[in-house]
């Protein structure tokens, strides 16, 4: 293994921990009393984004050889923020009421998620510049959700996310 593979371990581990936490929440989707559609959509979006960021991180791995300690911390910033977002989203108690928990935590979840999305403007993760408009729209939507606490805006975010998936499918890199 070369140095870049060792350096990639920590960020990928952080995404892996977040992904394991998210996938553990999928059990809520199989019981009607725990199913709450805005939470469901948010969990699906976060799960796909975790997988996408692991995939995109391989662009960064190629550039890790010879980076400074400070630059490595900048590369760790996104996975750490994402882990914080997921920790804010997922309840510790499996029996907690999904709707109450989600509505209570909506401000912190979407404020952190806006920071996570905005952090993608800092290091180049090999994502097309065309995605910048979608990111700005997603940040504005997340801040709107955090400030207004309107759960219907989660569906707007879901639409933006879906359009982003379509764009990636139609115009692959």
Closest CA to 14 of 50, 39, 44, 43: 50
Query: How far is it, in rounded angstroms, from Cα 72 to Cα 51?
Result: 21
Is the pLDDT assigned to residue 6 strictly greater than 90? no
Residue 150, both tokens: 């309107």
Query: How far is it, in rounded angstroms, from Cα 19 to Cα 13?
Result: 10
Is the pLDDT assigned to residue 168 strictly greater than 60? yes
Lowest mean pLDDT among 16-25, 94-103, 153-162: 94-103
Provide mean pLDDT across the span 91-97: 79
Query: How far is it, in rounded angstroms, from Cα 33 to Cα 27?
Result: 12
The angle that helices 153-170 and 131-148 make with each other, rounded to 10 degrees, is 170
Is the pLDDT assigned to residue 103 strictly greater than 90? yes
Lowest mean pLDDT among 1-5, 12-16, 143-147, 169-173: 1-5
Residue 65, both tokens: 């050889």
Mean pLDDT, the chain, whole residue set = 86
Range of the domain at 41: 3-170
Report the domain count for the chain. Answer: 1
């Amino acid at each position: 293994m070369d140095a870049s593979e060792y350096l990639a371990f920590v960020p990928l581990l952080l995404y892996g921990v977040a992904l394991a936490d998210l996938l553990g929440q999928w059990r809520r989707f199989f019981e009607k009393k725990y199913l709450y559609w805005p939470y469901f959509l948010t969990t699906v979006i976060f799960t796909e984004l975790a997988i996408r960021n692991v995939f995109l991180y391989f662009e960064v791995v190629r550039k890790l050889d010879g980076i400074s300690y400070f630059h490595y911390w900048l590369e760790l910033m996104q996975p750490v923020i994402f882990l914080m977002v997921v920790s804010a989203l997922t309840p510790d108690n499996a029996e907690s009421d999904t709707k109450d928990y989600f509505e209570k935590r909506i401000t912190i979840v979407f404020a952190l998620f806006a920071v996570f999305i905005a952090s993608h403007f800092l290091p180049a993760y090999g994502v097309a510049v065309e995605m910048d408009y979608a990111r700005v729209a997603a940040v504005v939507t997340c801040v709107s959700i955090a400030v207004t606490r309107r759960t219907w805006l989660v569906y707007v975010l879901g639409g933006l996310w879906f359009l982003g998936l379509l764009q990636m499918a139609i115009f692959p890199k």
